[in-house]
Amino acid sequence: MKPKLLTANWGAIIPGAFFLIAAIFSALTLHNFDEVTKTYPQTTLWLAIVFLVIGILFICIILKTIEGVAKTSDETSFKREAEAIKAAFKQIEAEKSPLLTLFFEPEEPPFKMEPDSTREIDFGLILSQGRQVTNASVIFFAPPGFDFPNTKTYKQPSYKELWSDFMLTRVSLGDVFRNINSVSSVHIKCPTEKGNYKLFYQITGGDYSGEHEDFEVIIE
């Protein structure tokens, strides 16, 4: 918001009026010069001086206000530039941070299976952000009754609050590079009970640890 002193009325007209009045009293002082006593009329002389001083003081106040506004503007501009630089660095760091995504192909969930059957599910990883993730792997979590044949598995203890009695397996895909798909597969053996089941997976690798995502298997 612009200070009142920097408006046309306060910044130009008022000090100009003081200088004009001072000029008028100065002219009256010179006009009424006493040739006999060689003196100027004191009243008009002092009034001219007073209005001149007021005008000068007013100009000094205006200049001080301009200096303050300029300083505030510089500080605001500096803060905006600093915030813009911080945002740019955050964007750079975000682009450096890896982002791995799992995709299923050629078929996507939900996967339909017959009771007590085994199915191979093809999937892959793509690195859409960052340069590389070393030793990437996918951990699959299947509810009780499911199994992962032909691979090393681990059963979550029943006392665990998360994934209690779930069967886990890890599928390694090695190093994953930017925009280069890494593909693999996992065999899933389903139980005899029909129904809709949610399985989960998590992508890990190096310093990377993704969120737990789910997909559905329908036994019918």
- Judged against a pLDDT cut of 50, whether residue 1 lies above it is answered with no
Please tell me whether residues 105 and 89 are part of one structural domain.
no
Claim to verify: residue 55 and residue 123 sit in the same structural domain: no
Note the pLDDT tens digit of each residue in 173-190: 999 998 888 999 999 999
Q: What is the band of 73 on the pLDDT scale with cuts at 50, 70, 90? A: low
Residues 120 and 210 in one domain: yes
* Span 74-112, pLDDT tens digits: 566 667 766 766 666 665 555 567 889 999 989 999 999
201 and 107 inside one domain: yes
Q: Which pair of tokens denotes residue 126?
A: 């793509």
Q: Which domain holds residue 134?
A: 99-219
pLDDT at 36 over 50: no
Same domain, 103 and 202: yes
Same domain (yes/no): 114, 48: no
Model confidence, pTM: 0.58
Q: In the beta sheet, which residues pair with residue 201? A: 140, 213
CATH at 153: 2.60.40.10
Q: Which of 96, 115, 131 is the last residue of a domain?
A: 96
Number of domains in the chain: 2
End residue of a domain, out of 63, 96, 129: 96
Kindly state whether residues 116 and 200 are assigned to the same domain: yes
Considering the domain architecture, whether residues 179 and 114 belong to the same structural domain is answered as yes
